Every structure is written in structure tokens, then in C-alpha cells.
Amino acid sequence: MSQELKTPLSQAKDDFVTQWGAIGSAWGINRTMAQIHALLMVTARPLSTDEVMDELKISRGNAHSNLRELIGWGLIRSVIRKGERKEYFEAEKDVWKMFCIIVRERKRREIDPALEVLTRCRQATKGLKGEEAEVFQKQIAALSDFVAVANRVMDKVANGSESQLMPLALKMIK
């Protein structure tokens, strides 16, 4: 469909999908995965793999692997329609649930491994003497403390409810 023939809604949808893809890249997920997520978030009905491929102009393999990854994250789910062989997909539409899922996944992929590395570094240098060792140990301890706080905050957010956390967040920004 050419730009001139697009409705304001389809143009806005395309803009959103494109920008969500760019944002996803900045957050450490691939552009196509973010675009599929965006498309499913703003589409009223579940879409098949073929429809996702058509809409985003991507290959079957690319669509399939990214749909599976999004299912793995818990951001989309498979929908089976009675009497149809095709599999359809829909996104979690509740923004708070989606946010909590992303926080949990980011924590699992980023914070947990960082804490493990920092703990190993602390153990490996425990008892070492000298200026270099002291500087290293001090920096690792500071990083460990910071990441541990971030870990606790992410745990609270990921496991909290919107009604509990939103008032606190609003107090912090006032």
C-alpha cells in the first residue's frame, strides 16, 4: 500500500510498529521481535504467522523464531481457533502486566548474571593485599551493593501490583 493510500490509523500503526522496533533495539532485543510485539499489541484480533509476515515483510523463519521468543518471554500467547489448523498469536494488552514481564525477563538476563560475576570476583580476590587489589575490591563491592539494590527493586516491581507501586512511583516523581 503506498503512503498516499494509507488511512491515518494505518499510518499511525506503521509509525508505532517502526518506532517500537527501534526502541526494542535500544533495550537489547532485536528490531523484528519488537516490531512483532508492537504489531500484536495494537491489533484488535490475533494474527497468524502469515499475517505477521505480510504486515512486516519478513521471512517465515524470522517470524517463527521471533514469535517463539516472544512466547518464551510471556509477552504473547498462542491462540488456537476451533476448526483451523493455523496458529494465531495475541499480545498481552495489560500494560502493567507487560511491564512486569519485561522487568522479570531483564532481571533474569542481565541483573542475575551480573550479580553472579560480582560475587565470583569478590570470592576470587578475598584476602588479596596490595593497592591494586584494594581498589578492585572496593569497586566490586560498590558495584555489588548497587546491583543488589537494583535487584531488590526489580523484584518488588516484577512481583508487585500496580495498585501498590503506582502511588509510590508518583510520590517519587513529585
- pLDDT of 116 higher than 70: yes
- Domain range summary for the chain, segments of one domain joined by +: 3-91, 95-173
Between CA 103 and CA 17 the distance in angstroms is 21
**Count of CB atoms situated within 10 Å of the CB of 171:** 8
pLDDT in tens, 23-80: 987 777 899 999 999 999 999 999 999 999 999 999 999 999 999 999 999 999 999 9
Query: Is pLDDT above 90 for 100?
Result: no
pLDDT at 1 over 60: no
Tens-place pLDDT, residues 85-95: 899 999 999 88
Phi then psi dihedrals of residue 42, to 5 deg: -105, 10
Copy the grid coordinates of residue 5: 493510500
Q: Rounded to the nearest 5°, which phi and psi values hold at 91? A: -95, 155
Give the containing element (helix H, strand E) for 87.
Answer: strand 87-91
The pLDDT value recorded for residue 46 is 96
Q: Domain 3-91 belongs to what architecture?
A: Orthogonal Bundle (1.10)
pLDDT of residue 158: 78
Between 102 and 92, whose confidence is greater? 92
Within 27-130, where are the H helices?
31-41, 49-56, 60-73, 95-106, 112-125
Provide the residue type at 149 as one letter.
Answer: V
Greater model confidence, 160 or 119: 119
What pLDDT, on a 0 to 100 scale, did the predictor assign at position 75? 93
